Structure 1
C-alpha cells in the first residue's frame, strides 16, 4: 500500500472511531439536519424546528476536554446560528454562535462548529440565536462528565436523564417576531412543555421516565423557556442538588427548586416510594395565572396511576431568594481539573473594576425596547468580532457607549432616554471584575455571561452601594454562568476576564434579548498570540464590510 494512502486511512480510522490523533483529546462528531416539522406541544399544530427529525434536538454527551464537531445543515428558509450555552470555549469565541460573533449560516448551506469542552463538567444546553427561532424549538441538552481519574462526590447513578422544561407559545416564531417588530410585547405564554410535551396529568400519559425501586437517578433539569421562571418538584420524592452549571454543590435536599430562565441544575432522586406512577411537576413562577405541566415517572412493575393531587409550588420571590442563598459550592469536591476547586480563593482577589448595569425599558420611535445603562443593543450587519479582527471596528461600532457607574434620572428609574446601538464594553484581559445588575422593574430577570464562569456572590433587595459588599458570599458562592435578579433588587457577580475573545452578556428572556437587553465584552489579547486566542477558523463565514477584505495576518505563538 502507498505510504501516503496508508497514513490517510489511519487518520480517517482514528477520527471515525473517536480515537485521539497526535495525543489530542477524543473527538465527538455530530451531523445535524435542521428542518421544519409540524408538532403539537400544547395540542395545537404548529411549525417546529427539528434537528435530525427530533424535538428537542439530539443530546450531546461528552467528557471533560473532549473536542466536539457539529456539522449543521441549514434546511430552513432563514439564516441560522446555534450557541452552546455555558460551554466556555476557551480562546475560541469564533464558535460562540451569536450575531455579534458570527455570520449566520445561509439557507441551503452547512457550517461546521468545532470547540472543546476544556476543563468543564456539568449540565448545559444549546439553542438557535437567530431571529426568534428559539420560540420554535431547535434546542437540546449537553452533558459533560468528569474524566475517569477525577472523583465525583456521589455514587454513579443508575441512569442520567435530561429534562428540558420551559414555557411555550402556540403562536409561530414568525408571528411572535412580527409582534416585537411592530413594537408590541409578546404577552403571556400559553403553557409549559417538558422535553417537548405537556402532560395532561390525567394518568393516561405514557411514562417519560421509568425507574427501578431502590435505585438512584440523576435528572439534569434546564429551563429552556422564553419568559418565565419555573418551579420543579417530584410527587412523593425529594431532590438532592448535586450540580449547578458546571459546579458540584453542597448536597442539600429540597422539596422543589426554582429554576430561572437559562439555568441548569442536576439532582439525584432515589426511587424509594411505593411502586406506582408519580408526576414530575413544573409550573411557572411569579405570574398571575400559573401554567402547570407534568411528566409521568413509572416504577418498573409498579401498580397504580399517579395521584391527581399535585404538590403545590411555593409563593413569592422571597422564598426563591432564600433558596438561592442556600446554594453553596462544594469546596471538597474535585472538578474537571485534578486540583480541588476550593483552592481558588476568589474572595481574596482585589477587584480591578466595578461595572454597574441598570436595566430599563422604554419606547424608541413608538416601539418597545430594553436597555442597559441607556443603550439598547442592535446587531450590526458585520459581526463585531469580524470587524475587530479585520481592523474595521471603527466602521461598525464604538466601544464603551455606556459608563461603568450609571445612575438613572431622579424619579425616572427605568425611563431614561434609550439609544439604539451595538453595545460593546472594552474589557482588560485578565482583570478581576465585579458586575452589578440592578433590576428596577416588576418582574424577575435572568442573565447569562458567555465564555466565563462567574461567582454569584449576592442577590439583595434595593439599590446597590459599595457598602453592600459586606454581605457578599466571598467563600463558597457557586461558580456558574447565569444569575437571576428579582424585582426592585440587584445581583452581583465576580469573574476574571481570562478568556480572550468577544463574549455576550445577555438576558435569557427571548423578548428582552431580541429587543436589546444584551451587550458584548471585548477581551482583547494584548500580545495577539494564539496562546491567548485562536485565529479565525479557515471555514468561518464572512459577511458585511469584511466579505471582500484581505484576510489579516494570523496570530503567532509568541
Structure 2
C-alpha cells in the first residue's frame, strides 16, 4: 500500500493524475508502477559502518526493468531529513525536461513528502542507471540500474542470454557523504577514494562473501550490464580467463568486438556477453581504478555449477599504459549499422555524417580558486545554482533567475568566475560540441535528454583541421563520453528535444563545484508535438512557489 506524507496529495490521486496525463500522450503503451521509500540506513561497503541512502531498504536500489515506450510511474517518498532528487542517467525524457531530476529543472522532494515521477522510455533500448543528483547524495548510495528491453518483434542482434545481470561499479569513500560535502563546501579537493565497489560491496566488506557471485552453467552465454556509478575514477573491468563481447553502449547496439578488459569511465554504461567456456573451477571478476596511485582493486567470483575448486592465483592485472591503450579501445567502439534500435529500421539509417552543421561549440574545463575556495569551470564559468529551477523560471517567465548565453560558446582564456550559466540553442538544429581538456586528468561529460555521436578523439589542441579525422559513418551514439588528458573529444548532436538540459562533468566533485551548465534548446512553438506542458503534479519552489500549473 502506498504511504502518505503530511501535506502531500494521496498517492492514489497522484497516480491517477499520472495515468490521466500519459493517457493523452502514450495511450498505447503499458504502465509500470513503482513505490519507493528513501531512507538513511547503516551500510558496510568497505568494512566500516556508514550512513547510506537506501531505496526500499536496499543498497544499491532496485533495478528498473521495462520495455521500449513503457510508461513508468515512480512514486518516491523522501524519508530523509533533507530535500532529495533522483535523476535518470542516459534515460532521455522526450519533450519533458521538467522531470529530468536535476535541480536546474526539477524541485527537490521536501523531507517527509512524496513525489510521483512520470517518465516514458520513449524510443529507447539499453542499459542505464538512476542516481541522487542533489547535495552530494551520490556519495551515499541511492543508485540503481535501468534496463530497457526491445519490444517484441524488434530484432536484437544476438540470441537471448541465459542470464542478465546489472553490475554497478565505482570508487567509494569510507567517509559519510556529509563529511565529503563539508570538505568541498570548505573549498578543498577530495582525496583518492578508499576502495572500489561492485554492487555495493568492496574488498573490505565485513562479511565473508564476495561483492559479486554469479552462478554459471557451462557452455551458456550471459549478459552483464556494467555502469560506472563512482565519483571520480575511471575503472577497468575484466574476467579471469574469459573474453567479453561488447554488444550495447547506452542504448546503441555496437559492432560485436571482443575485449579481454574494458575501460569504463565515469557515468558510462556498457553491455557485454561472455560464454561460460572455462569450466572446472571458479574465476575472478576484477574491477580496478585507472590512472591512480595506488591502484584500487576489488574482485568478485564467477562460479561454475560444476566447479571443482575456488578461484586460484592472483587476480589478472589490467592495462598498465597511461592513455594510448584506452584511446585505441574507445576508437574501436562503433555502431552496428545493420542492427535495429528501438524501432525496426537499422541504426545506420540516420546518416548523421551527411548533415550540415549549423553551429560549433568548444568547451574547455579548468580548475582554480575563487574567493580562496576550490572551484571548477567550463569556459571560465563556474556554475552556481539559482534560487529557482531554471526550467520553471523559463516556463513562468520569471525574470532575474538566469541570463541567456551567460556562458560563451568558446573558451575565453580568462580567470574563473561564478554565474548561473545557460547556453541557448535553437530547436531542430544540428551542432558540433568539442570538449577540450587542457588538464592532466581524464574528464567525463554527460548530456541529459540526448544521445550524441562521438565522432572524434585525439590528443593535443582541436582545430578545424581535426574534422578531417572524424568518423562520419559508424560513430557510436551515447550520452556520456570521456576526454583524455591534454586531449579533445568531438560530438555531433541533433537538437530534437526541447527543454533545459544539464551538461555536466561526471567527476562528481567537479560537477558539485561548478563544472556544469544548462543547454537551453528553445522553440517559440507551444505545440505538444514539440514539448509537453509542465506536469500537473509538478513541485513548485523558489520564486515559482504558489504559481499554478495549467490543467491537462
TM range (shorter): over 0.9
Identify which of 218, 223, 226 aligns with 1:221. 226
Tell me what 2:513 maps to: 515
Between 1:154-163 and 1:304-313, the stretch displaced more is 304-313
Q: Does 1:128 align with 2:148?
A: no
User: 2:46 touches 2:204 (CA, 8 Å); kept in 1?
Assistant: no
Alignment of 1:154-233 (within 5 A): 154-199=158-203, 205-206=209-210, 208-233=213-238
Alignment of 1:10-49 (within 5 A): 23-49=27-53
CA-to-partner distance for each residue in 1:22-72, whole Å, 9 max, x for gaps? 942000110100001111100111001000000100000011110111100
Tell me what 1:50 maps to: 54
Q: Does 1:268 align with 2:284?
A: no
The whole-number CA distance in structure 1 between the counterparts of 2:292 and 2:412 is: 29
The whole-number CA distance in structure 2 between the counterparts of 1:436 and 1:286 is: 23
Change (3 A) 1:534 1:496: same
Q: Does 1:378 align with 2:376?
A: no
Alignment of 1:242-391 (within 5 A): 242-315=247-320, 316-391=322-397
Tell me what 2:429 maps to: 431
Deviation at 1:198, TM superposition (A): 1.4
Tell me what 2:411 maps to: 406
Alignment of 1:538-549 (within 5 A): 538-549=536-547
Q: Does 1:100 align with 2:99?
A: no
User: 2:45 touches 2:204 (CA, 8 Å); kept in 1?
Assistant: no
User: 2:46 touches 2:206 (CA, 8 Å); kept in 1?
Assistant: no
The whole-number CA distance in structure 2 between the counterparts of 1:203 and 1:74 is: 30
Tell me what 1:412 maps to: none
What is the TM-score with the length of structure 1 in the denominator?
Answer: 0.93
Tell me what 1:5 maps to: none
CA-to-partner distance for each residue in 1:463-489, whole Å, 9 max, x for gaps? 111010001000000010001001100
Change (3 A) 1:202 1:500: closer
Change (3 A) 1:389 1:42: same
Change (3 A) 1:62 1:256: same
Deviation at 1:407, TM superposition (A): 4.3
Tell me what 1:110 maps to: 114
Helix, strand or coil: the match of 1:328?
Answer: coil
Helix, strand or coil: the match of 1:360?
Answer: strand
Change (3 A) 1:203 1:537: closer
User: 1:157 touches 1:218 (CA, 8 Å); kept in 2?
Assistant: yes
**How many residues end up aligned between the 2 structures?**
533
The whole-number CA distance in structure 2 between the counterparts of 1:291 and 1:230 is: 9
Deviation at 1:136, TM superposition (A): 0.2
Helix, strand or coil: the match of 1:448?
Answer: strand
Which aligned runs of 4 or more in structure 1 are off by greater than 6 angstroms? 18-22, 200-203
User: 1:249 touches 1:329 (CA, 8 Å); kept in 2?
Assistant: yes
The whole-number CA distance in structure 2 between the counterparts of 1:59 and 1:236 is: 29
Tell me what 1:452 maps to: 450
What is the TM-score with the length of structure 2 in the denominator?
Answer: 0.94
Change (3 A) 1:342 1:513: same
Helix, strand or coil: the match of 2:393?
Answer: helix
